Structure 1
Amino acid sequence: MSLIDDARAVRENAHAPYSRFKVGAALRATSGTVHVGCNVENVAYPEGTCAEAGAIAAMIAAGDTRIAEIAVIADSPSPVPPCGGCRQKIAEFADGDVTVTLATTAGTTLQTTVSALLPGAFGKGHMEGD
């Protein structure tokens, strides 16, 4: 099963009664373990959780700490990139050259990297003093 297949499957579990925009994400940790997440909306919109953030939280809860690759899928005319906050979350746990596959439920895919999604990323090096 591919990461896109895993993301497609978990997308069906999304709780999106307000936007009706279901998103699924699957990531492979450097350990080889796959972790998944789906968006979970809340009536106090936009106080929900993105699919990518859910997959990252599942990874951390399982004891993994690094992303080897990640895939995101949505029912959209074109592949949907992660929101800005999720781009920063992904960058926290992935190297810049990690592959990010964006997909539609119709089968269109686009591959990019973490660095391409978040150029000039804020990192821990910015917080280290001389």
Structure 2
Amino acid sequence: MKSIVQRVTEARVDIEGTTVGRCGPGVLILVCAMQGDTDQNAEALASRIARLRIFRDEAGRMNRSLLDTGGAALVVSQFTLAADTSRGNRPGFSDAAAPDVGARLYEHFTACLRDQGVTVETGQFGADMQVHLVNDGPVTIPIDR
């Protein structure tokens, strides 16, 4: 699975003008299931992100995790993370998992993140979404698992 983790002060996702998910201080996670990904990949990614030390400690250093801070996560499916731009000007997405597999792994990933103790809200798999965020720092971390 591929992901982009952005530390945020706030984030929300809208579908057709209606907010379907939001979080306060924490992370916005864009996530994509790739061909060959399994439940174990989703579990490992959730564990890694929950423990990723990207929040400031008392000394101002990035030394605290979502679990340490009680931060929340907004998880948004984004198959375009699978983009292959090695040929021509139009990206290819054939490395992304099939939609049924992608949806299942997306749901499994969010459940695993909740199981880690993180408050999670989501977008809607496969929907045309508008994502709004205030990137804190800015801190943006790509993670593949």
TM-score interval for Structure 1 and Structure 2 normalised by the shorter chain: 0.3 to 0.5
Report the TM-score when normalising by structure 2.
Answer: 0.33
Report the TM-score when normalising by structure 1.
Answer: 0.35
